[in-house]
Amino acid sequence: MANPKAAKKKRPPPPPPSRLAPWYPAVVAMGVAVALAFLAKALAPPIHFLSTYNRNQMKDVFLGKGMWVVLCSGEGAGYDAVYKRFGTASKAMTGSAKFGVVDCAGSLPSGKSILQKFDLSEEVKPVLFVTGAGLTPAQASSRNMETHASLLKWVQVMATPGASPVTSTRELESKCLKKERCALVMKAGPLEDDVKDAFKDLMGNHRNLKFVSIDSTKLETSLEKKLGIKPVDGSHQLVHFIRYNVTGKVKVGTPRWGVQLYSGALETASMSVFIEGAAIVGTKEETALTRLPTVMTRKEPKAKPPPPPPKAEGGEGGGASAEGLGGAGKYEGMDKEKLLEAFRKKQAEREVARRKEMDEEADNFLFEAVDEGDQEGIAGETFGLEEDGDGDKEQEEEEEEEEIVDLDEM
């Protein structure tokens, strides 16, 4: 009979502990880190590779509401270095702008290339520009692309909405009134933080609208008289312009712009409603302008003359004294009654002389007022509705039209 104990197999001894066991947590952590890195790369904003033959892409880049930073494709060590900085900037600008690469020598539907259409310089390589919302592309210089920091700073400045400062009539015309629509911010001093944020959001929501600003503490415009406003003492103003479609020969007095003044609270929502409503031509709130508004240095208010010295007190009638009668020598030694009588006589003579002078001025008023008033109106009036007279006067308007981004002509 077999021994049952002998038939029972012995269990093998457990294996010795692995030398890698202490490193398991570190290996797992490293794996998680690598996975997160791949996930972050997958979720990072992509760099879009664009085609000039894709009409929808070109419409979004040049006419869409958002801002685009576009790099023209190329090759070589210089291009590779800028492309790396371009990628770094795209990650830092998440949500503020889109980044894309395109062959700028490729043909647009019009047959022109992007380089030809927007007159981009090929002397600066690679070609990098910011565009969007119908704005003419702005090209980066070589200095802007030297380092990661310089490229990022340039992109942030160009892609952030803002208002161009205006300091002269010429700048108001070129930066604002030559546009189809424009908004003027008349600052009565530094903007408060909440007002600044409201305007920044407004500009971001309406990137296709050109904004300009003027320091009304130093400069004034003829709009102030036309609209009856004084943007001083902390009273900032927002004015919207829309240009009428006036071409060729224009008669004097023909309205060329419509202007509206915003009168609500400086809040983003209410200002946006105003901007959208002002885009409609011919509203009843619109004031027609026939001449270019002017910008000039604000004049200091004239100081009030000091009050006249008080008259010397005398007897009845307030100030019946020898000095009030023209000198102490003639009336010196008079008693009170005679002095008062002489004073009343002198006062009556002055009144007769004053009335005579007024009558002479009244006779000349009808003639002098017409001549001087008309001259002052011609020289001082900056704009307004004008009379055509016999209708023979005409004015040749020669304006240098700014190129407008039009998809059908691209």
pLDDT tens string 241-256 = 998 887 667 677 788 8
In a domain, 319, yes or no: no
Total residue count of the chain as it appears in this document = 410
Angular region, 183: left φ>0, alpha ψ -120 to 50, beta rest: beta
pLDDT at 401: 38
Question: pLDDT tens for residues 323-349?
Answer: 444 444 555 566 667 777 777 888 888
Q: Of the residues 159, 179, 204, which one is the last residue of a structural domain?
A: 159
Average pLDDT over every residue of 313-327: 47
pLDDT at 176: 92
In a domain, 222, yes or no: yes
128 neighbors 142 (Cβ within 8 angstroms) = no
Of residues 133 and 194, the one with the higher pLDDT is 194
pLDDT band with cut points at 50, 70 and 90 for residue 92: confident
- Considering 191-200, 381-390, 391-400, the range whose residues carry the highest mean pLDDT is 191-200
Question: Within 13 A of 282's CA, how many CA atoms are on the CB side?
Answer: 1
Instruction: Verify that 289 and 173 share a domain, yes or no.
Output: yes
pLDDT band with cut points at 50, 70 and 90 for residue 9: low
Q: What are phi and psi of 327, to 5 degrees?
A: 140, 150
Instruction: Verify that 150 and 195 share a domain, yes or no.
Output: no
pLDDT band with cut points at 50, 70 and 90 for residue 215: very high
DSSP secondary structure, 37-48, as one string:
HHHHHHHSPPPE
Angular region, 384: left φ>0, alpha ψ -120 to 50, beta rest: left
Is residue 37 over pLDDT 60? Answer: no
pLDDT band with cut points at 50, 70 and 90 for residue 387: very low
Q: Of the residues 159, 193, 209, which one is the last residue of a structural domain?
A: 159
In a domain, 61, yes or no: yes
Average pLDDT over every residue of 70-74: 92
252 neighbors 395 (Cβ within 8 angstroms) = yes
Instruction: Verify that 100 and 200 share a domain, yes or no.
Output: no
In a domain, 400, yes or no: no
Instruction: Verify that 202 and 257 share a domain, yes or no.
Output: yes
Q: Of the residues 262, 297, 332, which one is the last residue of a structural domain?
A: 297
CA 93 to mean position of chain CA atoms: 23
Q: Could you give the CA distance from residue 48 to residue 61 in angstroms, rounded to a whole number?
A: 11
Angle at 137 between CA 131 and CA 143, to 5 degrees: 100
Question: pLDDT tens for residues 43-64?
Answer: 455 889 999 999 999 988 888 8
pLDDT band with cut points at 50, 70 and 90 for residue 351: confident
In a domain, 303, yes or no: no
In a domain, 343, yes or no: no
pLDDT band with cut points at 50, 70 and 90 for residue 182: very high
130 neighbors 67 (Cβ within 8 angstroms) = yes
Average pLDDT over every residue of 218-223: 92
Least confident of 6-20, 72-86, 146-160: 6-20
Instruction: Verify that 168 and 154 share a domain, yes or no.
Output: no
Percent of the chain with pLDDT over 70: 67
Instruction: Verify that 169 and 279 share a domain, yes or no.
Output: yes
Average pLDDT over every residue of 85-102: 88
CATH number (domain holding residue 186): 3.40.30.10
- Considering 28-42, 159-173, 302-316, the range whose residues carry the highest mean pLDDT is 159-173
First to last CA, the chain: 104
Instruction: Verify that 198 and 133 share a domain, yes or no.
Output: no
Domain tally for the chain?
A: 2
Instruction: Verify that 72 and 91 share a domain, yes or no.
Output: yes
Instruction: Verify that 136 and 176 share a domain, yes or no.
Output: no
- Provide the 8-state DSSP code for 21: G
Instruction: Verify that 141 and 213 share a domain, yes or no.
Output: no
Instruction: Verify that 155 and 170 share a domain, yes or no.
Output: no
pLDDT at 150: 92
**Residue-averaged pLDDT of the chain:** 75
Question: pLDDT tens for residues 106-163?
Answer: 988 888 999 999 889 989 889 999 988 767 788 999 999 999 999 999 888 887 778 8
Percent of the chain with pLDDT over 90: 29
In a domain, 183, yes or no: yes
In a domain, 248, yes or no: yes
- If DSSP codes are grouped into helix, strand and coil, which group holds residue 146? coil
Domain of 211 in residue numbering reads as 164-297
Largest CA distance in the chain: 174
Question: pLDDT tens for residues 254-278?
Answer: 888 999 999 999 999 999 999 988 8
pTM of the model: 0.51
Instruction: Verify that 281 and 229 share a domain, yes or no.
Output: yes
Q: Could you give the CA distance from residue 5 to residue 27 in angstroms, rounded to a whole number?
A: 46
Would you call 332 exposed, middle or buried from its count of C-beta atoms within 10 A (0-12, 13-18, 19+)?
exposed
